[in-house]
Structure 1
Amino acid sequence: MSSAVQLTERPIQQSAAEPSRPASVRPALSAPTFLATAVRAVGRFAWLLFKPTIVIALFLLLWQLAPTLGLVDEVFLPPFSVVAQAFADLVASGEMWTHLSTSLNRSLVGYSIAVAAAVPVGVSIAWYRPVADFLNPILELFRNTAALALLPVFILVLGIGETSKVAIVVYASFFPILLNTITGVRTVDPLLIKSAASLGFSPLRLFQKVVLPAALPAIFTGLRMAAASSILVLLAAEMFGAKAGLGYLITAAQQNFAIPNMYAGIVAISLLGLGFNGLLVTLERRLSRWRVPANG
């Protein structure tokens, strides 16, 4: 009886004594499974790479096909290939660069002045109550007055030269930056400010290390909105009394019925705005590397 028990127990003891396979050892993937995984990885990478251009490519394809198939009049909406050729001709002749550089110079000068003025004023209004009480009435008055409505006033007072065009850009860019700066500073977590003050931070260091970094996302939102506004308002200003600029190019092409050149100017405006926005987004990411995205 005891020998039977030993015989039955011996295999169990041997199996228990067998060395177990390490958990890190896994069977190798078969060739079809590995190939399918690689294809999926390449597909995801290609999708992430080309996803931003898919909608634009579809739009350009529709633009090309609509006049070609007779859905719209080709005289008033040339195919995209014709507009692209006109754009290339303007670039080759140097005319596009002349107009683009003129508009870019006006926009950058006015935009820089607006940034230099709006950010300090916004911080002062948000940080100091007396400044807010003193400036709010006049700022509210002008904030609700559209820039284009004041364009004739700027032309009458400052003339049709560069000064009026830069001034209208300053006016259009000032308020988006101002309002977002005020919002960003006022919405800083009070607990962060109290913690920094309890650590002995001076007011200047408190602003530099706590308030400004926390308000940076809102400030950059205002900068991006102001960049778009500055370009749009400048184009309208260049349609009156200008001899160069993208707005002048579009107006002159329309009057001379050079429709492909007109659309080429519109494409140049889109590329300029896209470049402005991309530059600001890159700068914001560089200055906000400490932020953790919501999706981890």
Structure 2
Amino acid sequence: MTVTTSLNTHAQRGAPSGRIGRVLGGFGTLLVVPAIILVLWAVVAASLQSLVFPGPVESARGLLADLERPEFLAGVGTSVRLLVVAWLGAAVMGGLLGFVLGQSPFWSQVFQTPLFAFYSIPKVTLYPVFLLLIGLGEPSRIAFAFFHGVFPMALLVMGATAGLDRRLVRLADALQLSRTQRVRMVILPALLPTVLMALRISFGLTFLGLVLAEMFSANVGLGRELVNNVAQVRVDRIAGQIVLIALIALGPVLTMLAIERRIRARMGIR
């Protein structure tokens, strides 16, 4: 009895550290590909020894030189602020639209083709339309970034809602749940892995749209700074800024991916 009690106590004490180890291990697996890319980058740059292909060290120095400029930091802050606004708008609007349309097989079939058509359009060709309708300034950049992220969010949520396991719906009927209880206790938990995946994809595309918009019409921001470095042929700073953009994107994306994997593991979904 004493030995069993001691073992149970030891297991309970070790459980938090075990969970922390699994979380850290999950993040470690997600960082394998970036680490491989970094190593390959360094090897290729060292073998080429070209002024137009800087290595990680030269790129880091260029990025640090940019980070010392207050106007560059202000531009980064502006880009992050606009990105958050555009992405939240795309996530909320796209998620609600996809959820509402996915409730009806008829309306999901009706709107599926137009949504895919809009999603497949090269959106950079439409940016002059945004400028004409909204004008220069932050609203047009937010709208263009929103336009990049809202369609994948709507399509993925709509597909997941339309393809929801009918057994879950019958279970909700058997339990005589109200409409609100059905959505909160049955439908949303079943859709959660797909919603997280849609949020991750929407974030990356929204960021892409924002950088493109800043390259064309902004006077501040990451896209504008990238164009300035290209115009002045500062290759090390170009590479450093690309690394910064990748880091800003990878942080939220890897976090959402880790959460998604954890939820899928709990739900027994591969």
TM-score (norm 1): 0.74
1:113 counterpart residue number: 89
Q: CA deviation at 1:98?
A: 2.0
Q: Secondary structure at the match of 1:239?
A: helix
Change (3 A) 1:58 1:279: closer
* 1:277 and 2:253 are equivalent in the alignment: yes
Q: Please give the per-residue CA displacement for 1:265-296, whole angstroms capped at 9, x wherever unaligned.
A: 100110011012023235546776852355xx
Q: CA deviation at 1:163?
A: 1.0
Q: Secondary structure at the match of 2:267?
A: coil
In structure 1, how many angstroms separate the alpha carbons of the residues matched to 2:54 and 2:171?
62
Question: Is the CA contact 2:193–2:263 (under 8 Å) kept in the aligned structure 1?
Answer: no
Q: Please give the per-residue CA displacement for 1:172-212, whole angstroms capped at 9, x wherever unaligned.
A: 11111101101111222111110111111112211111111
In structure 2, how many angstroms separate the alpha carbons of the residues matched to 1:211 and 1:234?
32
Matched to 1:182, the amino acid is: M
1:260 counterpart residue number: 236
In structure 2, how many angstroms separate the alpha carbons of the residues matched to 1:249 and 1:148?
19
Change (3 A) 1:52 1:195: closer
Q: CA deviation at 1:62?
A: 3.7
1:86 counterpart residue number: 62
Change (3 A) 1:64 1:276: same
Larger radius of gyration: 1
Matched to 2:41, the amino acid is: W
Q: Please give the per-residue CA displacement for 1:74-124, whole angstroms capped at 9, x wherever unaligned.
A: x21122211111112222334443222111111111111111211111111
Q: Secondary structure at the match of 1:152?
A: helix
Change (3 A) 1:293 1:118: closer
Matched to 1:232, the amino acid is: L
Change (3 A) 1:208 1:106: same
1:59 pairs, out of 33, 37, 40, with: 37
In structure 2, how many angstroms separate the alpha carbons of the residues matched to 1:130 and 1:103?
40
Q: CA deviation at 1:141?
A: 4.4
2:184 pairs, out of 203, 208, 213, with: 208
More helix by share: 2
In structure 2, how many angstroms separate the alpha carbons of the residues matched to 1:58 and 1:173?
28
Q: Secondary structure at the match of 1:257?
A: coil
1:176 counterpart residue number: 152
Matched to 1:64, the amino acid is: A
1:16 counterpart residue number: none
In structure 1, how many angstroms separate the alpha carbons of the residues matched to 2:115 and 2:159?
15
Matched to 1:123, the amino acid is: F
* 1:152 and 2:155 are equivalent in the alignment: no
Matched to 2:95, the amino acid is: V
Q: Secondary structure at the match of 1:77?
A: coil
Query: How many pairs does the alignment contain?
Result: 248
Question: Is the CA contact 1:114–1:170 (under 8 Å) kept in the aligned structure 2?
Answer: yes
Task: Give aligned-pair identity as a percent.
Answer: 25
In structure 2, how many angstroms separate the alpha carbons of the residues matched to 1:262 and 1:209?
48
1:125 counterpart residue number: 101
| Aligned pairs (5 A) from 1:22-61 | 53=31, 55-61=33-39
2:165 pairs, out of 189, 192, 195, with: 189
TM-score (norm 2): 0.80
Work out which structure has the larger RCO, using CA pairs closer than 8 Å and 6 or more positions apart in sequence. 2
* 1:219 and 2:195 are equivalent in the alignment: yes
Question: Is the CA contact 2:119–2:152 (under 8 Å) kept in the aligned structure 1?
Answer: no
Gaps of 5+ in 1: 1-45
Gaps of 5+ in 2: 1-23
Cα RMSD of the aligned pairs, angstroms, is 2.8
